[in-house]
Amino acid sequence: MRLPRGAAGASASDRSRSRGDRGSALIITLWVAFGLVALALYFGDTSALDLRASDNRAAGLEADQAIEGAARYATYLLGKLDPPGVLPAPATYQHEAAAVGDSTFWFLGRDPKQPAQVTTDLPFFALVDEASKLDLNTATAAMLQLLPRMTPELAAAIVDWRDADSEVTELGAEDETYLLKNPPYHCKNAPFESVDELRLVEGADAGILYGEDLNRNGVLDVNENDGTASLPLDDRNGRLDPGILEFVTVAAKEPLTTTNGTPRINIRQNPGQNAQLRTLLQTALGTARGNQVMGQLGGGGAGGGQGGQGGQPVTINSVLEFYLRSRMTTDEFALVESDLYSAQGTNAPSGLVNINTAGEQVLACIPGIGTELAPTLVAYRQSNAGKRDTVAWAAELLGAQNAARAGRYITGRSHHFSADIAAVGHLGRGYRRARFVFDLSAGTPRIIYRQDLGDLGWALGRPARSRLQTLAMDSR
């Protein structure tokens, strides 16, 4: 008997269908399993990413804290300067890769021994003397013009920006220029409050402000020496040619009292008749020598020596001019220098450049020094490290005439400093950077300016980066 074809066929097809069902079920199961694995992997990966992100956030918070800590540390250091107004050598304080818990901070500074243009990619770590720079509020257009990369137009526009009037100086810019901008704004007609205000001034482009030093760390980073391959556009000559931000500051006013609170003496008008000055000189140098020095100052007055009663009025424009006229020895002068200042009326002097810390480019801007004598001063300073808080030494090098011209622009000690602080959290993650400016003129250091510089990117150079990368790799 033959089975009906249909029956046999049905049974075969049933078998094959059931095999097919099992196959489908297997495929579905596989797909489900695959989906689950994919989901698990996806969520696993997301939570790993989440974990990494929150770890980075934590590191960033640690770095923020390290920056606050470093700023407090800088305040503490600046509060106990000895001699006053002079930064100690970096080796005497924490300045590089200083550990705070799991985080680390650095003070990005400038090497006073470096030649004018830096050729290294290793940053120098230290606090910075802001009085080593030219003051945007007091420097004349002629002085500003001598800065590297400065244009006559920008120098004139800086003066117009800060002066109260709206008269356009030659090549300068006032309201009529700024009101044509989109969006329009007014010329400030008031003193600069920060150097970053320069970005608003007509003629200040990135090339002039930053030069090749895009991350403002004072050293030659890879992108700053690769020509046009990456920003900034540089000349690939193996030397850092910085912009003017490197050389300018907004100075704090000098205090009118000394560090121990006694009023300083204004020696501008007829110092030979100044009773307070006489007392100071007699106390510091002895009565006889004090009287003798008073005699040198001339201008008449009782006991005024050869000046005698009715002598010509004497105007002394600077402490350095006073030193020359008094014929004191440098050691004698050092005893009284910080007690003296020269200013018109009741204004405290402001914007004086510290001749002991300013670099060649800044010294070259000062009348009486210029590009001819700036290298001489820097070279002398490097071989005579001792005289760090006086202006007297400059008199011998400049000669009396130049010293008298330069005197009103220079000082021997500083009243404002800055700390450019970079920090990372645990395992070198969470890079942060902020710059603080400190004003010491009121005695205790006060933070007068704070700027976030994190968006300028990594500024600690290659060696620090590879050290931190190794650290991070080792932790995995």
- Residue 440 CA to residue 79 CA, distance in Å, equals 8
* Residue 269 phi, psi (nearest 5): -100, 125
Choice between 155 and 410, CB closer to Ca ion: 155
Q: Does 226 bind Ca ion (CB under 5 A)?
A: yes
Contact between 258 and Ca ion per CB under 5 A? no
Q: What angle do CA 410, 138, 450 make, to 5 degrees?
A: 95
> Minimum distance between the CB of residue 224 and Ca ion, rounded to whole angstroms?
5
CB 136 within 8 A of CB 198: yes
The SS3 of residue 71 is helix
Which of 230/466 has CB closer to Ca ion? 230
| Closest approach of Ca ion to the CB of residue 189, in Å | 4
Site for Ca ion contains 62 (CB under 5 A): no
29 near Ca ion (CB under 5 A):
no
* Rg, Å, the chain Cα set: 34
Contacts of 408 (CB under 8 A, 6+ apart): 317, 318, 321, 342
Examine residue 155 and tell whether it contacts Ca ion (CB under 5 A). no
Candidates 406, 334, 397; CA nearest to 369 is: 406
Q: Does 215 bind Ca ion (CB under 5 A)?
A: yes
Figure out which of the listed residues 130, 202, 221, 439 binds Ca ion, where binding follows CB under 5 A: 221
Q: Which is nearer to Ca ion, 237 or 470 (CB)?
A: 237
Helix, strand, coil distribution of the chain in percent, nearest 5: 45, 10, 40
Q: Which is nearer to Ca ion, 297 or 460 (CB)?
A: 460
Applying CB under 5 A, which part among 44-52, 239-247, 251-259, 379-387 lies near Ca ion?
239-247
Do residues 16 and 8 touch, judged by C-beta distance below 8 A?
no
Q: How far is the CB of 347 from Ca ion (least distance, A)?
A: 20
What residues contact residue 208 under an 8 Å CB cut-off, 6+ apart?
149, 150, 151, 154, 243, 244
Q: Which is nearer to Ca ion, 21 or 235 (CB)?
A: 235
SS (H, E, C) 83-149: CCCCCCCHHHCCCCCEEECCEEEEEEECCCCCCCCCCCCCCEECCEEHHHCEECCCCCHHHHCCCCC
106 with 428: CB under 8 angstroms? no
Shortest CB 190 distance to Ca ion, Å = 9
Please identify which residue in 217, 326, 357, 441 interacts with Ca ion, judged by CB under 5 A.
217
Judge whether 403 and 331 are in contact, CB under 8 Å: no
Which residue's CB is nearer to Ca ion, number 215 or number 342?
Answer: 215
Among 96, 130, 202, 213, binds Ca ion (CB under 5 A): 213
Decide if residue 420 touches Ca ion (CB under 5 A). Answer: no
Select the span of 27-35, 47-55, 234-242, 245-253 touching Ca ion (CB under 5 A).
234-242
- Looking at beta carbons only, is 212 or 420 nearer to Ca ion? 212
Question: At its nearest, how many Å lie between Ca ion and the CB of residue 454?
Answer: 15
Task: Kindly tell me which of 129 and 241 has the beta carbon lying closer to Ca ion.
Answer: 241
Q: Minimum Å distance from CB 56 to Ca ion? A: 24
Total residue count of the chain as it appears in this document: 476
Q: CB under 5 A: which stretch of 83-91, 220-228, 341-349, 419-427 binds Ca ion?
A: 220-228
Based on CB atoms, which residue is closest to Ca ion, 130 or 213?
A: 213
Q: Return the residue of 11, 13, 54, 237 that touches Ca ion, per CB under 5 A.
A: 237
Out of 102, 111, 121, 163, point to the residue binding Ca ion (CB under 5 A): 163
DSSP string, 194-207: SGGGGGGSTT--HH
Size of the site for Ca ion (CB under 5 A): 16
Smallest separation, CB 399 to Ca ion (Å): 35
CB of 149 to Ca ion, least distance (A): 12
Interacting span for Ca ion (CB under 5 A) from 155-163, 273-281, 326-334, 397-405: 155-163
Give me the least distance between CB of 228 and Ca ion, in Å please: 6
Under the binding rule (CB under 5 A), the answer on residue 202 touching Ca ion is: no
| DSSP codes joined into one string, 249-274 | E-PPBPPSB-TTSPBPEE-SB-GGG-
Q: Does 241 bind Ca ion (CB under 5 A)?
A: yes
Pick the binder of Ca ion from 234, 254, 321, 389 (CB under 5 A): 234
Chain-centre distance of CA 368, in angstroms? Answer: 26
Given the complex with Ca ion, which of 4 and 238 has the nearer CB atom? 238
Give the integer Cα–Cα distance in Å for 342 and 335.
Answer: 17
| Minimum distance, C-beta of residue 181 to Ca ion, in the bound complex (Å) | 16
Angstrom CA distances, 309 to 4, 292, 313, stand at 151, 16, 11
Measure the CA–CA gap between 356 and 377, rounded to whole angstroms. 9
* Residues of the shown chain interacting with Ca ion in the complex, contacts defined by CB under 5 A: 160, 163, 189, 212-213, 215, 217, 221, 223, 226, 230, 234-235, 237, 239, 241
